[in-house]
Amino acid sequence: MPGHSYDAEKYWKANLRLIFGSLIVWALVSYGFAIFLRPMLSGIAVGGTDLGFWFAQQGSILTFIALIFHYAWRMNRIDKQFGVEEE
């Protein structure tokens, strides 16, 4: 931004760390719990079905929505930290 001085390299490293962390959580929930770990989670009942099926049908969607809000909240804090927040 013109007139603002901030360390762009540190800003983008913080942004990329947040993105990669979010992707890891998303992959763990969507693929790990719903597909790969489903046999281990089949004995745990949630809402009349097993936990693996719940993650495949509901949990991964709810986690994705929570990740969107978490990303927006953290990016606002990162923007403020580096002085590039929206006015």
Question: Hey, where are the domains in the chain?
Answer: 9-82
Summarize pLDDT for 7-65 with one digit per residue, the tens. 889 999 999 999 999 999 999 988 888 888 888 888 888 888 888 888 888 888 999 99
Q: In whole angstroms, give the CA distance from residue 59 to residue 64.
A: 8
Mean pLDDT for the stretch of residues 57-79: 93
pLDDT of residue 1 exceeding 60, the answer is no
Q: In whole angstroms, give the CA distance from residue 34 to residue 3.
A: 48
What residues are paired with 49 via a beta bridge? 46
Q: What is the largest CA-CA distance in the chain?
A: 59
> What pLDDT shows up at residue 5?
63
Sequence-distant (6+) residues with CB within 8 A of 19 are 71
> What pLDDT shows up at residue 4?
57
Indicate the pLDDT class of residue 68, thresholds 50, 70 and 90.
very high
pLDDT of residue 2 exceeding 70, the answer is no
